[in-house]
């Protein structure tokens, strides 16, 4: 069965510091990978996606992620965090053969300290 | 702004009751998926509708059912509510069935007491 693991439940970083959120997946075929962000009480906003091609993908709000097949990872990075980045971040994998259902990780809550 | 709207935003129901949640897809999108997000967890796939027919279902009991209408709006119905059904219910629409980019609504917060 497909699964997504986000090892860090909470991460706290200082404003201006760099950020890396970890994501590992278990999926037999070439995955379609996503990062979503969720502010409290809100829906999910897509930050970036990987379908194929260049393994380093750029997203909105200055985020990027790198797909590493050998490590089954799709870590999210940002060189300089802003206070407004505080939110919960979800990694997800899509299964095309099952109607594109998204399988989500449990999420990582990012806190930004000033 | 995603263009996916859900109603109501919040509601409270009693155990054993039935509830209907509604979703209006983004313009031009013919595929809608529903997810349940319990507190502190990631969203879990309930089912997907494509052109008014169910197109995939997650590990949810039959008391979770849905509909998609000709205008591609959708409903999620839950019968015989249980306390564990308390969650944020998210609707997501996609341009096509095999298009993996899903746009989410703000969700409906359901509390079962």
Residues in chain A closer than 8 A to B106 (CB atoms): 42-43
On the question of pLDDT at B19 being above 50, the answer is yes
Per-residue pLDDT, B1: 47
pLDDT in tens, A65-86: 999 999 999 999 999 999 999 9
Over residues A25-35, the mean pLDDT reads 85
Query: Hey, what are B1's tokens?
Result: 């702004």
Dihedral angle over CA of B104, A64, A7, A29, nearest 10: 80
Contact check, Cβ <8 Å, B45/A106? no
Question: Which residue of A44, A90, A92 is the best one to mutate when testing the B interface, meaning the one whose CB has the most B CBs within 10 A?
Answer: A44
pLDDT in tens, A43-62: 899 999 998 888 999 999 99
Cα B26 off chain centre by: 14
Nearest C-alpha in A relative to B46: A101
Per-residue pLDDT, A81: 98
Over residues B33-60, the mean pLDDT reads 93
Tell me which H or E stretch contains B34. Answer: strand B31-37
Contact A83, A112 (CB under 8 A): yes
Residue A97 binned pLDDT confidence (cut-offs 50, 70, 90): low
């Amino acid at each position: 069965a497909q699964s997504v693991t986000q090892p860090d439940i909470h991460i706290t970083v200082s404003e201006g510091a760099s950020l890396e959120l970890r994501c590992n997946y278990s999926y037999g075929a070439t995955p379609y990978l996503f990062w979503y962000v969720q502010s409290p009480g809100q829906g999910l906003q897509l930050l970036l996606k990987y379908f194929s091609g260049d393994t380093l993908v750029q997203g909105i709000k200055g985020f990027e992620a790198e797909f590493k097949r050998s490590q089954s990872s799709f870590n999210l990075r940002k060189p300089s965090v802003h206070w407004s980045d505080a939110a919960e971040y979800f990694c997800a994998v899509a299964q095309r053969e099952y109607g594109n259902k998204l399988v989500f990780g449990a999420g990582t809550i990012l806190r930004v300290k000033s | 702004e995603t263009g996916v709207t859900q109603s109501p935003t919040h509601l409270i129901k009693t155990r054993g009751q039935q509830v209907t949640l509604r979703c209006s897809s983004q313009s031009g999108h013919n595929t809608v998926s529903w997810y349940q997000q319990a507190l502190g967890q990631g969203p879990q796939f309930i089912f997907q509708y494509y052109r008014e027919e169910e197109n995939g279902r997650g590990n949810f009991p039959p008391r979770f059912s849905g509909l998609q209408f000709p205008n591609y709006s959708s409903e999620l119905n839950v019968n015989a509510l249980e306390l564990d059904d308390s969650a944020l219910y998210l609707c997501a629409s996609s341009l096509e069935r095999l298009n993996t980019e899903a746009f989410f609504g703000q969700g409906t917060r359901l509390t079962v007491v």
